[in-house]
Amino acid sequence: MRRWQALSKPQRIELYVRWSLYIVAVAQPLAAFGSVAGAAGREELPTGFRLLLLGVLASGALNIVMFRTGLAAYLGRRSHPYGWTALSAALSVGLALTAMLTGGPLTPDSPTAPAAGVMATMAATCWITAASIALPTRRALLGGLVLVAALTVPPAMAGAHPGAVIGIALGTAIGSTMAAAAARCSAWMAKVVWELDGAREAQARLAVAEERLRFSRDLHDVLGRNLATIALKSELAVQLARRGRPEAVDQMTEVQRIAQDSQREVREVVRGYRTVELHTELIGAASVLRAANVDCRTELAGTDALPAEAQSVLGWVVREAATNVLRHSEAANCSFRLRVSGGTAVLEVENDGVPAVPPSRTEGAGSGLRGLRERLAAHGGTLTAAGPGPGRFRVTAELPMAARESVA
């Protein structure tokens, strides 16, 4: 259970699909054993026919390998397993033909007819189902037709009853179509989930890259001209000083003024880059969480009474907490509660779905919960993070109403 809780949603979906396919592979030997046991209870079967069950077990194991490698190929992690596919097809056809021909031609009074028919049908169905994932669609269809022909033509030429041959062909066609469609849909679902997970990560990286570009652009616009002016006036002051001209002092005074203006403008850029709005962040967090099928509830009291600086700081808490809910939990419920008590604003963010084995994190000094603590501490606030119960996580931020200005 701990390992299951530690898996991400895409990993859980893939594991579910994988074991569902393994059940199909195991169905072949189970059906073969059942049919042989039923036939043996009525009449004596040839010894060679009983020995075929060992081959059926090998075929089932090979089908599991084919499903495993086929799903990996469908998800784009390896090339198509043509070798395993060909080996499985050869073994399936060989076992089915041997079963149908061991006891003589398939006729209504043949003791091996029911068991042979079941073995042939299940062998073809399992192989076609696995091929629908492991091979491209056209090659899987062609391989299925060739396999059905290989299972029906030789018995028909050996004198099998037409009804038995037609029954094997129809049973294989109906069973393999339904099983292959279900398997292909399951594999497609797993692939879509992985693609969505990758798209969300790419979107997050793109958003970070866009913010970095915007920040670098603003810094360039602010500092580019001023630094060029400082360099020019400094060079002019050096030349004037070498000549003993009093204007050198005026030039250095101007350089000092430009440097101070640049410092002020950089502070404004940084403040603008870091400032967020609490109301906007709450709306955005609720929208993102609900889009991820998380039931989000907000309980706000006294939001309008908060000063702008306090709202900005708490807005960062909302943003980081919502990000952690999406990245580090499988939450189904999340709540944001804000209250003002005794001149202190208290924001609580609580969610469920916390895995028993939390994933490892490598966060920098200015990001994550550590960054939030530093940001709140600069305004006289505190941040605590703890689990109030099994599978739950709560972040509590306390901030004085008269939040002091941070130093840029």
| pLDDT score recorded for residue 176 | 86
Three-state secondary structure call for residue 298: strand
The answer to whether 351 touches 332, Cβ cutoff 8 Å, is no
User: Is-contact 402 343, C-beta < 8 A?
Assistant: yes
DSSP string, 193-235: HHHHHHHHHHHHHHHHHHHHHHHHHHHHHHHHHHHHHHHHHHH
Strand pairing of 295-300 and 333-341?
parallel
Find out whether 66 and 130 touch, Cβ atoms under 8 Å. yes
CATH class of the 278-400 domain in this structure: alpha beta
The answer to whether the CB of 294 falls within 8 A of the CB of 334 is yes
Fold of 204-274: 1.20.5
For the chain, which residues make up each domain, given as ranges? Answer: 2-199, 204-274, 278-400
* Residue position matching structure tokens 């397993």: 81
Residues 6+ apart with CB under 8 A from 127: 63, 66, 88, 89, 92, 143, 144, 147
Closest C-alpha among 384, 331, 320, 327 to residue 360: 327
**pLDDT by residue for the chain (408 residues), tens digit each?**
667 777 788 888 999 999 988 888 887 777 777 776 666 555 555 666 666 777 778 888 888 998 999 999 999 899 999 998 899 888 888 877 877 776 555 666 666 677 777 878 888 888 888 899 989 989 989 988 898 888 888 888 877 778 878 888 888 889 888 988 999 999 999 999 998 888 878 877 887 787 777 777 777 766 776 787 788 889 889 999 999 888 889 889 988 988 888 888 787 777 666 566 788 888 888 877 886 788 999 988 766 778 888 888 898 899 888 888 887 888 899 999 999 888 899 999 999 988 876 555 444 433 578 878 888 998 899 999 988 888 899 999 999 876 544 433
In angstroms, the CA 261 to CA 238 distance is: 22
Q: State the Cα angle at 7 between 368 and 396, rounded to 5°.
A: 30
Q: pTM of the entire structure?
A: 0.57
For residue 315, what is the enclosing H or E element? helix 308-328
Query: What number of CA atoms fall less than 13 Å from residue 73's CA on the CB side?
Result: 22
